[in-house]
Structure 1
Amino acid sequence: MLTQTEGDFLLKLARTAIETYILEGQVLNVPESPSATLEENMGVFVTLHENGELRGCIGYPEPVKPLLNALIEVAIGAATGDPRFAPLNSHELKKIHVEVSVLTPPELIVTDKPLEYLEKINLGLDGLIIERGIFRGLLLPQVPVEWGWDKEEFLANTCLKAGMSPDCWLQEGVKIYSFQSQIFNE
């Protein structure tokens, strides 16, 4: 668990990385860390909202890089590389709201039958990754709460995010992982 002070540091770093990239065309250097925890490899997502609407979301679901390095990359990615949106421009910088989600490592959910997934998912606590072959989709824990989804809708929408049919979670060969996240908001 990160402290609120560490979370505030991550939020400022994400915003500074975005502003530096958009205004100066430069990738921010990784600053000195205020704690050893922030130097550990962790999964992280940066989500941007503008006027309450999603404006970008990019992240690393796996702990593949030190948190501060990963955060700078995904903050810039959320602002300029989310294929669902045009890159953020300088006029939007004051309008965006930054959210940082620091993830636990994903864990495979083991079941005997697909319907058991419904018993093993905790809405509002678990994020999901669904994969089959080359298809992979992820939804953060806050998404089903924001949309008012039940567990089946959460699974179906994660399947859709992976580019598969909404009932793919019932099919053989599909792997479903859960993870948790600690969320910090501006």
Structure 2
Amino acid sequence: MTLSAREQTYLLSLAKHSIEHGLEKGVQKPPGSYELPENLQHFENEQACFVTLNKEAQLRGCIGTLEATRPLIEDVSHNAFHAAFSDPRFNPIDIRELDRLNIGISLLSSPQEMEYCPTMEDLLDQLKPEEDGLIISDGIRRATFLPSVWEQLPDKRQFVQFLMRKAGIAVWSEDIHCERYRSHSFDLDWYRIESYAG
């Protein structure tokens, strides 16, 4: 899904509002409490997304879903709240940090199984840097890197090795399952995002 600038602005303002609501009320805004403008009704369709928070170019929270399970409008609100307050890697967002935050949203395509990757070399041959998001799993261990992670890890082998580490997979084996996906991503600094008007 490719969005217009207006649609991107709307979703970013929705994410910002979800965080503001969390700071003010201490809870997530209930699903179904948003009113969509008529020309944005397609946001009621199911769509998987990630919301990423960065502060001064450093990751501050990232939560999302790999498969569509709820309307996009609800997924953005849910993931923004949990990226701000429930990412286990970070303390909850504090109001004093807001002006230094950047909010990013990534809309994901459906994951597609990689054709053949019994070895890491087979996977590396298929990977497309800057385009592919990657999911690897081995039993209950599973992790993903969004395509945006290529900006920090442009080398394919390093990209895979760091993802294995994230998943808790020590060594490559034939049991590793690989999937790829694409994303449409956009972001703005907190103070540049319009106030929510839904």
Q: How does the TM-score come out when normalised to structure 1?
A: 0.91
The answer to whether residue 23 in structure 2 is matched with residue 18 in structure 1 is no
2:143 aligned partner, one-letter code: G
1:67-86 matches, within 5 Å, as 67-86=72-91
Find 1:59's aligned residue among 53, 59, 64: 64
2:35 aligned partner, one-letter code: P
The answer to whether residue 136 in structure 2 is matched with residue 135 in structure 1 is no
Q: Which runs of 5+ in 1 are unaligned?
A: none
Q: Distance in 2 between matches of 1:37 and 1:79?
A: 26
The answer to whether residue 103 in structure 2 is matched with residue 102 in structure 1 is no
Question: Moved runs in structure 1, 4+ residues, more than 3 A?
Answer: none
Are the equivalent residues in 2 in contact too, given 1:42–1:105 (CA < 8 A)?
A: no
Q: Which runs of 5+ in 2 are unaligned?
A: 189-198
1:118 aligned partner, one-letter code: L
Q: How does the TM-score come out when normalised to structure 2?
A: 0.86
Q: CA deviation at 1:158?
A: 1.2
Aligned length: 182
Q: Distance in 2 between matches of 1:86 and 1:26?
A: 16
1:139-154 matches, within 5 Å, as 139-145=145-151, 147-154=152-159
What percentage of aligned pairs have identical amino acids? 31
1:25-44 matches, within 5 Å, as 25-28=26-29, 29-32=33-36, 34-44=39-49
1:104-123 matches, within 5 Å, as 104-111=109-116, 113-114=118-119, 115-123=121-129
2:65 aligned partner, one-letter code: Y
Q: CA deviation at 1:55?
A: 0.5
